[in-house]
Structure 1
Amino acid sequence: MESVWREIELRPGLRVSSFESTPSSDFSFSYQKKNSYLDFGFFLEGAIVNNLYETTTGAHRLENFAGYGGLGFFRELSGMVESAAQVKARIIHLHISPELLYELLVEDIHAVHDDLKNLLENKSDQDFFLHHTMDPIVHAAANELFYALSGGQCSRMYLEGKALELIGLQVMKLESYSGVHNTILTPREVEQIRDVQEHLKENFDVPPSMAELSKAHMMSISKIQSGFQELFGMSVFGFLKEYKLRKARMFFEDGDMNVSEVAWALGYTNLSHFSAAYKKRYGVLPKQFLNSVRERRTAVSACGCF
């Protein structure tokens, strides 16, 4: 597969770009640029290393894997990107001016991460970078925007709406991750809860029991439950259900699996239960959604968009 780079200006001060590639051999490239935009990055598939050589915060080696995200602002930067052969990579970036983001967030500025807030309010001229694992809701929203952009059939208004939704989700999630507002968790417990989350994501099709999670991560069941409520705003069961349904939508968007295959891949043993859960979450039966995805892809292929 050849590398595909797409970029669209959605409105003055807001751009979206995506990158998709499966290199036949190891590759790397260097870059150097001046910048006046905030960059929200979402790594959806694969692995890419970004070596930042010269920034005002020093040198950084960022190892990005599927499920990682970042928010950065560097007025000047240079570095080198590296990727291994035969590893498919999918990435989407949102580039937004500080002035526009401040205008959008002015009513909620109190809830914004301190580094971002200081930049938007012109209280600091320091560059910054936040690197983190993505919340499953953010990951799914990023995938939706990626496929909408790559499909070519969506209007700019739709793309702009999805981009703003994704920025809004990410800004709020970044603050919830910081754990600075009346937290009842210690830094060590926050790390443990995130490890539990990763454990569930890696075994979503055959999830461990609460007792198994408690033993594996040396936390009480009640602490895990309260930790999930604090960090992610939902119970462990709620998180797992939401993650699986978002995963189902991603599988359908890929267009390679039928409803039964998706249900089995997610660990559902009863197709009716899966269909009911999907309809409750998205307002449409999975079969209907899959048909609409396939019809859309056929229409896009026929018109040769993108």
Structure 2
Amino acid sequence: MQIRFSAKNVDELLTEWSQQTGSSLCIDPFEVILKMPPAMGNGWMRQIKLRPGLEMTLKHFEFSEPFVAEVTSNFSWEAVEFTSSVSGYVRNVVNGIPNEYKITPRQSRMSFFQNCGGYVECLPKQSVIHIEIQIKLPVLDNMIAGQVEQISPNLLAVLLGKSKDSFSQAQTMTGKIAQVTEQILNCPYQKGLTRRLYLESRAIELIALQLPINSPDTLPAPRLLKADEVDRIHHAKEILLTNLEHPPSLLELAKQVGLNDYKLKQGFRQVFGTTAFGCLYHHRMEQAKLLLEAGYSTVTEVAQAVGYTSPTSFSAAFKKKFGVSPKTYKC
């Protein structure tokens, strides 16, 4: 599927996206939510206005067929974007940047685009999970407050007004960036001022962690999985999630889907942005949260339902995920 946009800013782009794809569009004063129609795949995109000049975009989607989106006009951006990629491959061609670049799993990327169009390309049957922080130049300049020793030369030239050249440079996601990313994706607050301030604090932390970058984009591109390998990885996930109480070992799982254990581990990282048992842990915790919200199970019963024989181990795992104990959450 290929679509073209003539939008000149982000607000126009979201409106055009909704009109051309049939995506549902929900708008409130601080947040815009786009939900992908079933014909395209599944997933959503959220644009959150944290404060004037600072926004966050959360993307979690999967296309059912190859997808290309092209912006045909000069798109006015004039902001620095900090991307944290948990999973998924996205190919980008941007006018003003000499070479195409790829956003890959476990990658952090800092970009600046000035009045430029281009296109992005997504592969089918892969989960794309990205967090993007957009900050206007005056806001970022005020935040840095003259402490420019560790700032990228490209960014510094833009902040000083010496250059308006577009650039994009990447680094491998650090453990700390991965931790903050996980906190954003699992924000314990669902709405209101508390949620917005929580996300704003994490956005500023991500900017602080990604600013000290001084080398060009030299990350090697990981080898892409073949289509049948992606299908096998998805099948492996299904096997795990239907056997919460007695999941197979990594070797057993690899054998069941016809991959070796190295390819299975690599595949989970590339397709889902986590390990096989990281995926299992996340699903167990989400199921546990739903059971606790339903209010009809004890903590011990919930622990057993999601595959924990020890309520103590379950409570520790739940608190690590959501920041509160299951008993407190249930109340």
Q: TM (normalized to structure 2)? A: 0.54
- Give the 3 Å change call, closer, same or farther, for CA 165–286 of structure 1 in structure 2: same
**TM superposition shift of 1:113:** 1.8
| Counterpart for residue 133 of structure 1 | 172
Mapped pair 1:286 → 2:317: yes
| Counterpart for residue 200 of structure 2 | 160
On the 8 A contact 1:255/1:294 being kept in 2, the answer is no
| Counterpart for residue 201 of structure 1 | none
On the 8 A contact 1:94/1:163 being kept in 2, the answer is yes
**TM superposition shift of 1:297:** 9.1
CA distance in 2, matches of 1:121, 1:259: 55
- Give the 3 Å change call, closer, same or farther, for CA 4–163 of structure 1 in structure 2: same
Question: In structure 1, which of residues 54, 68, 80 is the aligned counterpart of residue 107 of structure 2?
Answer: 68
CA distance in 2, matches of 1:49, 1:259: 41
1:39-54 matches, within 5 Å, as: 39-52=81-94, 54=95
1:1-306 matches, within 5 Å, as: 2-31=42-71, 32=73, 33-52=75-94, 54-55=95-96, 57-58=97-98, 60-148=99-187, 152=191, 155-172=195-212, 174-175=213-214, 178=215, 251=282, 255=286, 285-290=316-321, 292=324
Q: Which amino acid aligns with 2:150?
A: A
Unaligned runs of 5+ residues in structure 2 are 1-40, 223-249, 251-273, 289-301
Unaligned runs of 5+ residues in structure 1 are 180-189, 196-204, 206-242, 265-270, 276-283, 300-306
**TM superposition shift of 1:95:** 0.5
- Give the 3 Å change call, closer, same or farther, for CA 191–157 of structure 1 in structure 2: closer
CA distance in 2, matches of 1:152, 1:6: 13
**TM superposition shift of 1:122:** 2.2
CA distance in 2, matches of 1:157, 1:15: 12
CA distance in 2, matches of 1:93, 1:150: 19
**TM superposition shift of 1:63:** 2.0
Q: TM (normalized to structure 1)? A: 0.58
CA distance in 2, matches of 1:70, 1:118: 18
CA distance in 1, matches of 2:63, 2:110: 26
The number of residue pairs the alignment matches comes to: 220
Q: Which amino acid aligns with 1:17?
A: T
Q: Percent identity?
A: 19
CA distance in 2, matches of 1:149, 1:44: 19
CA distance in 1, matches of 2:162, 2:219: 30
Summarize deviations over 1:70-123 as a string: whole Å, max 9, x none.
111111222221112211111111100111111111252222222212222223
- Give the 3 Å change call, closer, same or farther, for CA 297–81 of structure 1 in structure 2: farther
- Give the 3 Å change call, closer, same or farther, for CA 2–287 of structure 1 in structure 2: closer
On the 8 A contact 2:171/2:219 being kept in 1, the answer is no
CA distance in 2, matches of 1:138, 1:293: 24
**TM superposition shift of 1:11:** 0.7
Q: Which amino acid aligns with 1:13?
A: G
Q: Which amino acid aligns with 1:103?
A: N
**TM superposition shift of 1:160:** 0.8
Structural RMSD (CA): 4.4
CA distance in 2, matches of 1:151, 1:296: 17
CA distance in 2, matches of 1:296, 1:80: 47
- Give the 3 Å change call, closer, same or farther, for CA 29–296 of structure 1 in structure 2: farther
Q: Alignment partner of 1:119: what SS?
A: helix
On the 8 A contact 1:35/1:74 being kept in 2, the answer is yes
- Give the 3 Å change call, closer, same or farther, for CA 191–4 of structure 1 in structure 2: closer
- Give the 3 Å change call, closer, same or farther, for CA 288–6 of structure 1 in structure 2: closer
Q: Which amino acid aligns with 2:317?
A: P
- Give the 3 Å change call, closer, same or farther, for CA 27–191 of structure 1 in structure 2: closer
**TM superposition shift of 1:150:** 9.7
Summarize deviations over 1:4-30 as a string: whole Å, max 9, x none.
111111111101111111112222211
